[in-house]
Amino acid sequence: MIMDFFTDPVLRAPTWATLFMCIASSLMGSFLFLQKKTLLSETLSHATYPGVCIAVMGLGLFAPTFESWSFLAVLVGAFISAFLALKMIHFLQKRMRPDSALCFVLALFFGIGTVSISLMQTIMPAFQKQIQMLLFGQAATMTDLHIVLYGALAMIIACIIFFIFHPLRALLFDREYAQSVGINRVEKMIFWLLLFSLILGIRSVGLVLMSGMVIAPAVAARQFTNHLHKMLILSAFFGALSGVMGNILSVYGTIALSTETRNLTLPTGPMIVLVGGTIALLSLAFAPGRGLVFRKLRIGSFRFRCVQENILKCLWKKGPISGKELRTSFGLSLFFALLSLRKNGWVHKQNRLYHLTLDGHRKASSIVRLHRLWELYLANMLKLQSEKIHKTAEEMEHILTPDIEERLTRLLSNPVIDPHQQPIPGKQ
């Protein structure tokens, strides 16, 4: 049962803790995404690696009896390392391109971490295994204490965003105004919250995958709205959904793949990130407003309408035309275009020739009118040469609205002749 993941003594801690962690990281990721600083989360999450290694190594060398405190050492080491990385990023960005500074810091700190973990493999292999597991998280071993920890983090972030929402919006969309009224402290607060989210998230998703969990819900949410408050809500929802579904798929996937002879596991942290990435990809493809599929459908629909209108215009200018003659101009799309035009009552076929109906003639006259009005506007108002205006008018005639037609008519004093001395049809 799905509810067992929220109530069972073994399953509830990973489920609730990762749910709250994903909400916190998703909210922070929204601001990074809108500021176009997504690589910052990748850099800071990888920059925690050397701090974690050095802190645990120090604990093992100087206080080996306090092994139960290793999680606290991980948090402290990760915080110091990420803080130093953030300071170095700010320093380098004043002297080089921002993306170059981020890549340099990421490579430097992760390299130091890799060297440190290699040393630990020889000196203290037991501690090295613990750190190695932090690369991809240990969500399955969480306790009720982590529920309180991540729940508090998510609540604090949500409350701060609620109370400083308007300054945040100004900082994101009107930076000059934000600087003029002195609310730059808000940006520093966001960086600190991001830092804490990344550091605490290491325990659940891992430092390698944490940046994916920060950005994926924000990417998905952005495809559905243009409003900041809605994006934050959607991002938190997608993050929470990723956390819950990642736990469910991890448990049921492990059960399905395990047999009597082999025990295969699907780690919870990577599964959470995979779910978040899948949601982001599906949103990029199928979101009604911005999704690739719907955008392609809108483009295809517009192009199909252009073909229909060009056929009507051709029939208006040349009179009845055979299908063979039309096929040379409009190609493979002609069959479906004519089928639609006949269904709309704009074209009918008689004696193997296509004719305009009365409604079709009115529709075609309107298209020709828009074309010639735009040509006259380009020639008289923008002073373009007559040989250059036809192509532009061919494109604009399909997107001019009745309101623009009315304004053009008033602006050009209700003209009757276009630049080529062709009559402009009256308004239908």
| Mean pLDDT of each 10-residue bin along the chain, 428 residues long | 84 90 90 86 84 79 62 80 88 87 89 82 70 70 84 91 88 78 75 82 73 89 93 95 91 81 78 92 92 92 91 89 84 86 91 90 92 89 79 87 90 87 83
Report the pLDDT value the prediction gives residue 229, as an integer from 0 to 100.
93
Domain residues of the chain, as ranges? 4-290, 295-356, 361-411
Beta-carbon contacts of residue 75 (< 8 Å; ≥ 6 apart):
199, 200
Q: How many CB atoms lie within 10 A of CB 41?
A: 24
The torsion angles phi and psi of 21, rounded to 5 degrees, stand at -65, -40
Whether 4-290 and 295-356 share one fold: the answer is no
Report the pLDDT value the prediction gives residue 379, as an integer from 0 to 100.
87
Strand, coil or helix: what is 125? helix
CATH of domain 295-356: 1.10.10
Sheet with strand 347-350: strands edge to edge: 321-322, 353-356, 347-350
Report the pLDDT value the prediction gives residue 295, as an integer from 0 to 100.
92
Entry pTM: 0.81
Distance from chain centroid for Cα 124: 43
Q: How many CB atoms lie within 10 A of CB 340?
A: 16
Does domain 361-411 bear CATH number 1.10.60.10? yes
Report the pLDDT value the prediction gives residue 260, as an integer from 0 to 100.
65
Q: How many CB atoms lie within 10 A of CB 259?
A: 8
- The class of domain 4-290 in CATH terms is mainly alpha
Which runs of consecutive H residues, i.e. helices, occur in 352-411?
Answer: 358-380, 386-396, 402-411
